Structure 1
Amino acid sequence: MMYPIPEGLTPSDKNKLNSYLPIRNKGNEFNWDTITGLVLGHALKRLVKHYPFEQFREDCQSRFIAKLDEPGFWPVLDRMYFATEAVFHISPLFLLFKAQRKGSGKSELGAENLRMGELFAGLMGNYFLPDEVNDNLTFIEQEMLSVLRGQLKQGSALSTQEQPYLPYLANAFLSDLAFLARHPQYLLQELTHMLQLYAFTYCAQLALHVTDWKAGEPVSKPLYFILDNEKASKERVAVQHYGHKLFSESSKRLFPMLSALEVLQSQTPKRPLWRIYQEAVAYEDQERLLADLNRYLQAFAVSRSLPALESASSVPQAFEQLRELAMKQFESEKDTRSEINGKYVKELEKQVGANFIQSRGRAGRVLVLNQDQLLLLTNLAIGERDKLRLHELIKGFEQRGFYLDNQSQQVLVSFYERMGNVERMSDSGDAVYVRKTI
C-alpha cells in the first residue's frame, strides 16, 4: 500500500487551496454562459478553437448563397438566426462558442470560470456524451450545424486531477446530465440552471461533510429549504436549525479543512479527506505514520503560533488534532487569517448562494427554492419515468441535497396541483403521483 501522506511532511507558510472548491477569497464573478460552454464541451469532448463566430456566420452565408435559389434570402436568415442570437437555441453544440478562447491562453476564459467548470468535470469523471444531441432540425438548421461540425476539434478546455469528494452527488449529476442530453431543447433551456443548482448543493454538502471523514464515503446530509412563496417562522425547527444557519456555520470549515487537505496530498489524482483517512487507518506501519503525523502537527502548531498539543496516541487521534489545529488558527478575530476565511464564506454566499438565500424578517435568513428551480428538480428527479410517487420524488430531491419539511411538502403538492401535473389517488401522501412538465 502506498504511503498515505507525503514523505517528510512539513507545513507550508501559507494556507493554500487549489482543489475541491471553486471559490476563492476574491475574483469569483462567474460567467455562467462561459461555464455552460466549458462543461458541455468537456462532456462532448469537443472544442471550437481558432474559428471565430463571425467566420462561422460568413461560412453559413457562403453555403446558403450557393444552395438557395434566392440569394437575397440570406439577409432574412441573418436577421433570424444571428442578429437575434437564435442560432444558440438550435443545438447544444452551438453553446461551444460561449467557451471559445480568443487568443492562445486559458486566462481569457477566466480563472474563476475554469475553476467552476473543473468542479463539474470532477463530477463527470470519465463520462462523456455523444455529440449527436439535436433533434427535429429544419433543413436550414441542419446546414448550419453541418458548417459547425466541420470545425469542431477533439479535446476539452477543462482538466481535473481529483477523485470525487461526494460520489453520491456525482452519480446524480451524471444521471441528470444524461437525461438532459436525451431532451436537447430542454438541455438548451435548463443546462445553465442545472449547473447553478449543483454548484450550490455541491458547496453546501461539501461543507457539511468536510469534518466528517470518520463516517467513510459521504451520503446526502439534511439541509432544509422552503418554497419562496411560503412564510418562514421561527417555529420551523428543521428550517431554523438545519437550513441557512447550518449552511453558514458549516461553510466556515471549508477553507481551513481543504487547505489542510492540500498538504496531505501525496499523489494524483487528489483524494478527499475521508479517503486519505481510510488509507491512513489501514496502513500497515501505523507506528511510522503516527510519528510522521505527530511531527507535522507539532511543526504546524509552531508555524501558526498555536499552543502545542500532546502527541497523538493513534492515527485517528492525529486526524482529530489536525482538524483542531486547522480550525483554531482562524479563531482570532484580530488575525488576518480570520479575515480571509470570512471572505471565503461571504463570497460563497454572494456568488454561489445568492439565488438560494433570502432574508425573512424575524425568521432571519433561510434557504429557498423558487418555482423554476422546483420544476427543474422535479423533472430531473423523475427523469425518463412518466411519474413518481411523492415520497419517491422527495427522496430524489434529497439525493441532490435539497430537503423539505412536512409543511413545505404540503405547499409543494399544492403547487403541483396548480400546475396540473399531480394525480391524487387518495388522501394518502403515498397515493400522490407527480408527472414531468416536459
Structure 2
Amino acid sequence: MIFQLDYQRIRDFVEKNGVYTYRRRENTFVLPLPTRKPERAKFENGYAAIVGATMRVLDGESIEYEKNENSIDGILGEGKFDSDETMEVFKLFIENELEDIENSTITRVEHFKNIPFINHKDEKKGEIGYFNFFYDLFIRDYENEFNSLFSELKTEDLLSEIIRISGQADNKPLTKRKYKMLFPGLQQQFLNDVKTLSTNPAFLIQHFADIALHYTFIAMSQIVIQTNKLTSAQTDKLHRIVFLNMSETASKRRDFYNEGLRFLREEIRSFFAHEHTLNILGNNTFTQESNWFYKDYADYFQKQSPAAQEEFIKSIYYWINEEYKLYFPLTERIPYEDQDLQQAFKDLYDTLRRNVKEEINSRYSVAFETIATRFYRKSGGSLGNILALNMNQLISLIAVAVGPRGSQLELNKLWIELENRGVFFDKYSKEEVVKILDNLNYLDKKSDSGDAQYVKAIL
C-alpha cells in the first residue's frame, strides 16, 4: 500500500479556473459555520427551530416545516358547528394556536415539530447547518432511544391532532451523516440528560431547547480547542471553559478573563485553515473513510510501520514545496528533516493559514461568536463581552445534574457534574451558585456547620 497524499485528487479539489481555492467539506466536516455573512444564523427564534427540525426528522418527515394550508379547512368541513359564526371562532382559535407555536410558544412536546426555520432564504441555510451538526453529533446514533422517549410524552387530543395534521409533510429520508462526534462522553451525557428531563414533561418543554443549544455550543468550542492541539487532541475529557453567572460582577482578576470568551476568540481566530487542511489530508491514497481529524491519522499510523508514517510525512512536505508553491510562489520551502507527524501537520496548517483571506477568517469567527453572544453574553464594560449563564440555563443544567424527583446531589459533586457538561466555575462563581440555590430553597444542609450540603432535585 502507498501512504501518501493524492496529489491529483488535491489538484481537482482545490483548483478552479487555474486558481487555488480554500475549499472544505469534501471529506471532512468540522463546524457548521458559514463564511458568507448572509448565511449566518442569528437565532431570532432561539434554538427552538433546530429542535423543531430534529423532531420532524425523528418522525421521518422533512427537515423543513411544510405547512398544510388546506388542512384547517378540511378539518372544519368534517366538524359539526351550530352556526357559521361558531366555526369562524374555532378557525380563528386554531390559527392563533398555530401562530403561537410557530413563534416557539408551546405546551406539548409534539408542538416542537411545527416550529419552522427562519423565513429568510440565506439565514435558513445557517440554521439548517446547525441542525445537521446537532443531529449528527447528539441524535443520529440514538434515534431509537429518542423516538421511544418522545413517543411516550406525546398526548392524544383534538387540538394536538389538528396541529399535527396542519404541519404534516411527506416522509423524506434524512441525508447521510456529515459530522462526526469527537466526544462520546458528551454525547452519552446529553442522552442521559434528556431522559432525566423527560421525567418532568413540563420542564422538558420549557428547557429542551436550552439544553440542546448548550451541548451544541460546548461541542463546537471543544472541537475548536482540541483540533488546535493537532495530534495531541484529547477526546476523553473537556477542556476548561470558564463561565460566570449573569448576577455576578466581573473582574479582570477572575478566571473567566483568560479562560472564557477571550480564550475562545483566540482559538477560533485562524481556525478556518484547519477545515481546509483536514480536507487536504483527506485526499490520500490509504483510506476512503471520511471525517478524519489529526488524532485519527496519529492513531492510524501507530498501527503501521515507521516507514509508512515517514512516507506520508514526506508526501506532506513534497506537496507544500512542489504543489502548493505552484499557486503561491512566495511560499517558504520547508525541507524534510525527520519531522514527526505533529510537526508535519503544524507546518502544513501554518503554510495554508498564511494565505487565507482575512475577510474569510473574520466572517468565520464572527459566526462562531454570534452563537456565544446570542445566548451567553454578559456585558463586562471595559472587559467586553463575557460568557455567562442566565438563570434558566443555570437551573436547567443543575436540574439534570441532580437527577429526577427524589434525588439529591452532594454540593461538592455538583461542580464535577457541571464540568461534565462543559461548564467550569471559579470559586467566586461557585459561591454565587450556592447563594442562588439557597435563596431558591434548593439546598439541604445536613449539619449546622454546613460541612455536608446537598442540592435538592429541581425536577
**How would you bin the TM-score normalised by the shorter chain?**
0.7 to 0.9
Structure 2 CA distance for partners of 1:256 and 1:49, relative to 1, 3 Å: closer
Structure 2 CA distance for partners of 1:366 and 1:33, relative to 1, 3 Å: closer
Structure 2 CA distance for partners of 1:39 and 1:340, relative to 1, 3 Å: same
Deviations 1:125-149 (A, max 9, x none): 3211226536584743354367469
Structure 2 CA distance for partners of 1:198 and 1:72, relative to 1, 3 Å: same
1:296 equivalenced with 2:313 (yes/no): no
Alpha-carbon separation, structure 2, partners of 1:37 and 1:174: 17
Alpha-carbon separation, structure 2, partners of 1:147 and 1:109: 27
Contact 1:391 1:430 in 2 (8 A): no
Structure 1 counterpart SS, 2:147: coil
Structure 2 CA distance for partners of 1:135 and 1:321, relative to 1, 3 Å: closer
Structure 2 CA distance for partners of 1:116 and 1:387, relative to 1, 3 Å: same
Q: Quick one: which of 16, 20, 34 aligns to 2:30?
A: 20
- The residue type equivalent to 1:24 in the other structure is P
Tell me the TM-score normalised to structure 2 length: 0.80
Q: Which residue of 2 aligns with 1:377?
A: 397
Structure 2 CA distance for partners of 1:164 and 1:396, relative to 1, 3 Å: same
Deviations 1:319-374 (A, max 9, x none): 4232244235445xxx6623321221122112443322333134444211111111
Structure 2 counterpart SS, 1:433: strand
Q: Quick one: which of 207, 214, 237 aligns to 1:197?
A: 214
Note the aligned Cα RMSD (angstroms). Answer: 3.5
Deviations 1:202-243 (A, max 9, x none): 22212211122324534111010111111111221x222211
Q: Which residue of 2 aligns with 1:96?
A: 113
Q: Which residue of 1 aligns with 2:427?
A: 406
Between 415-424 and 382-391, the greater mean CA deviation after superposition:
382-391
- The residue type equivalent to 2:75 in the other structure is C
1:165 equivalenced with 2:190 (yes/no): no
Alpha-carbon separation, structure 1, partners of 2:85 and 2:369: 52
Q: Which residue of 1 aligns with 2:454?
A: 433
Structure 2 CA distance for partners of 1:50 and 1:164, relative to 1, 3 Å: closer
1:61 equivalenced with 2:76 (yes/no): yes
Structure 1 counterpart SS, 2:243: strand
Alpha-carbon separation, structure 2, partners of 1:202 and 1:146: 32
Q: Quick one: which of 220, 224, 246 aligns to 2:263?
A: 246
Alpha-carbon separation, structure 1, partners of 2:395 and 2:113: 26
Number of equivalent positions = 426
Q: Quick one: which of 84, 95, 108 aligns to 1:82?
A: 95
Q: Which residue of 1 aligns with 2:336?
A: 311
Contact 1:207 1:254 in 2 (8 A): yes
Q: Alpha-carbon deviation of 1:177? A: 3.4
Tell me the TM-score normalised to structure 1 length: 0.83
Structure 2 residues without counterparts, runs of 5 or longer: 15-19
Alpha-carbon separation, structure 2, partners of 1:100 and 1:224: 31
Q: Alpha-carbon deviation of 1:280? A: 3.0
- The residue type equivalent to 2:415 in the other structure is I
Structure 2 counterpart SS, 1:220: coil
Contact 1:357 1:368 in 2 (8 A): yes
1:29 equivalenced with 2:50 (yes/no): no
Structure 2 CA distance for partners of 1:330 and 1:51, relative to 1, 3 Å: closer
Structure 1 residues without counterparts, runs of 5 or longer: none
Structure 1 counterpart SS, 2:208: helix
Between 169-178 and 79-88, the greater mean CA deviation after superposition:
79-88
- The residue type equivalent to 1:16 in the other structure is R
Alpha-carbon separation, structure 2, partners of 1:100 and 1:248: 28
Structure 2 CA distance for partners of 1:272 and 1:318, relative to 1, 3 Å: closer
Alpha-carbon separation, structure 2, partners of 1:179 and 1:10: 47
Q: Which residue of 1 aligns with 2:374?
A: 354
Contact 1:381 1:393 in 2 (8 A): yes
Q: Which residue of 1 aligns with 2:17?
A: none
Deviations 1:86-133 (A, max 9, x none): 56635333332334899xxxx799321221111112212321122653
Deviations 1:149-170 (A, max 9, x none): 9x56544555423321232322
Structure 2 CA distance for partners of 1:336 and 1:161, relative to 1, 3 Å: closer
Contact 2:56 2:113 in 1 (8 A): yes
- The residue type equivalent to 2:130 in the other structure is M
Q: Quick one: which of 95, 111, 130 aligns to 2:125?
A: 111
- The residue type equivalent to 1:371 in the other structure is M
Alpha-carbon separation, structure 2, partners of 1:244 and 1:208: 12
Alpha-carbon separation, structure 2, partners of 1:50 and 1:244: 34
Alpha-carbon separation, structure 2, partners of 1:340 and 1:136: 44
Alpha-carbon separation, structure 1, partners of 2:63 and 2:253: 53
Q: Alpha-carbon deviation of 1:201? A: 1.7
Between 335-344 and 139-148, the greater mean CA deviation after superposition:
139-148
Contact 2:379 2:385 in 1 (8 A): yes
- The residue type equivalent to 1:118 in the other structure is N
- The residue type equivalent to 1:217 in the other structure is T
Structure 2 counterpart SS, 1:144: helix
